[in-house]
Amino acid sequence: MGEFRTSSRTRPVAAAVTDVGRQRKHNEDNVLVKSDLGLFVVADGMGGHNAGNVASALATRSLDNFFEATRAGVLPGPVPADEQDLDPGARRVVAAIRKANHDVFVISNTYTQHQGMGSTVVAAYVSCETEQIHVGHVGDSRCYRIRQGEIEQLTKDHSLINDALALKPDLSQDELARLPKNIITRALGMKDAVKVDIRSERTQPGDVFLLCSDGLSGMVSEQQILDVFDITQDPHEACELLIAMANEAGGTDNISALIVRIQPEALDDAQLDGAELEDTRPHRIDELGATLPPAAASVRERQLPVEEVELEAAASSDSKRIAAQQVHSIADSSLRSQAQGAAGRAPRMAAVPVTDRRSRAAAGSGRYAAVAAAPRAPVKEVPPPAKPAKRPTEVRVARCAHCKHELFIGNRFCVECGAAIKP
């Protein structure tokens, strides 16, 4: 497995796998593994084909570019008042996620076919110098820590049920049962500003961190996750087992698992004696499921459609002002396939190591009604290259009749008070 040296004491060893599941036609999840930066990301897009996977790919690319541009640790602009007490590494994660939110919001409001798209995100930054991990998230993608045979969820879902419990902790099980289960109340791209939850923890040698989309956490229990790590300590094998278990339980959604193990450096030196390191550069999977080597993929990159050029420019514009650096992204093939408009095809992206999986034919239903802005126009069989609108598309909003909270058209429940919205 490919690995990077980041400290004389410990270093992260990571793998990620993403799978379309058994009931969806398209994979809207994206994962990012950048061990040299200490950056690990899972993003779960929403908005359907040609929107949801664009949002999650754009989010991961934006985070990648931001961390590349801030390798020296210097962040652009003044430190916000509510972040004064944060560790510098935690501030970096928060700033990167806010930048990703802005990028998704701009594209969503510039291109009609992407209107209303969004993405959840969970991002972990491992700093071996300070022996800390900083976990930032928006939405219901999760981060778990497995330490000494015990598992702990480090993130709290931004969901309708959790928000209702925060307002009324004494809600009965019957009252909770009447609330929709999979409605999220916070996501990237819904507004130009987003609140990011951040948590910093000390790492210990042997710690394992699991980042996953709800397609995994909704299918596999915490005890089953623990059982996997009783079977294997290898991150790649553990990812494969977790994906298989989620599919066996029904695979109702796209499934992504990213595992980071904090490895003692001294142990690695002994294990790596004479071992050959795997190529860890990002790879792509084409429509037939064949893995493209980086050299072949770069040929494609020379002929980008208009829309992908715009997405790339949006994701990296601020980063270029900080420090112009070219960064490879695992999301390129996803963005390229959507610009071509090929209906019914869903290339899967996975950070190294890449796992080839065939799409299943059964279609699943969307789960993000609470944050959907407006229905997207159907994708034509052979659409012309997308062109920017002359002016940003206005996002339609309404207000809850009960608490007057601002809502996006298409909401079924108020994200503030939980009241049902009449059509």
Q: How far apart are CA 338 and CA 128, in angstroms?
A: 38
Q: How far apart are CA 228 and CA 208, in angstroms?
A: 12
CA angle in degrees (0–180, nearest 5) for 168-170-173: 110
Contact between 76 and 318 under an 8 Å Cβ cutoff? The reply is yes
pLDDT tens digit at each of 423 positions of the chain? 334 344 458 899 999 999 999 999 999 999 999 999 999 999 999 987 779 999 999 999 999 999 999 998 888 888 888 788 899 999 999 999 999 999 999 999 999 889 999 999 999 999 988 999 999 999 999 999 999 999 999 999 998 888 888 778 888 788 777 777 778 899 999 999 999 999 999 999 999 999 999 999 999 999 999 999 999 999 999 999 999 999 999 999 999 999 999 998 765 444 544 333 333 333 333 333 333 333 333 333 333 343 443 455 455 444 444 433 333 333 333 333 443 433 333 333 333 333 434 333 333 334 443 443 334 444 444 455 555 544 444 444 566 777 776 655 455 555 556 666 665
**The overall pTM is greater than 0.85:** no
Work out whether the CA dihedral 232, 130, 5, 213 comes out positive or negative. Answer: positive
Q: How far apart are CA 47 and CA 52, in angstroms?
A: 4
Give Cβ neighbours of residue 321 (< 8 Å, ≥ 6 apart).
76
CA angle in degrees (0–180, nearest 5) for 27-329-12: 95
Q: Would you list the DSSP string of 217-260?
A: HTTS-HHHHHHHHHH---HHHHHHHHHHHHHHTT--S-EEEEEE
Residue 407, both tokens: 């809502």
Residue-level pLDDT at 164: 81
Residue 138, both tokens: 């928006």
Residue 352, both tokens: 């190294």
Q: How far apart are CA 210 and CA 154, in angstroms?
A: 10
Residue 239, both tokens: 């990812």
Q: How far apart are CA 359 and CA 26, in angstroms?
A: 7
Residue-level pLDDT at 413: 57
Neighbours of 178 (CB within 10 A): 10
**C-alpha 202, offset from chain centre:** 23
Residue-level pLDDT at 408: 52
CA angle in degrees (0–180, nearest 5) for 125-130-131: 70
Quick one: residue 404, left, alpha or beta (phi over 0 = left, psi -120 to 50 = alpha)? Answer: left
**CATH code reported for the domain at 10-392:** 3.60.40.10
Contact between 306 and 387 under an 8 Å Cβ cutoff? The reply is yes
Distances (CA, A) of 216 to 245, 249, 350, 410: 9, 10, 15, 26
Residue 220: name the closest of 251, 245, 257, 252 by CA.
245
Residue given tokens 């990571």 in the structure block: 14
Distances (CA, A) of 65 to 50, 138, 251: 22, 19, 32
Element (H, E) at 31: strand 29-34
What DSSP state is assigned to residue 113?
G
Count Cβ neighbours within 10 Å for each residue of 161-177 and write b for 16 or more, e otherwise. bebbeeeeeebeeeeee
Distances (CA, A) of 341 to 32, 50, 384: 24, 8, 9
Give Cβ neighbours of residue 389 (< 8 Å, ≥ 6 apart).
110, 111, 112
If you compute the radius of gyration of the chain from its CA atoms, what whole number of angstroms results? 21
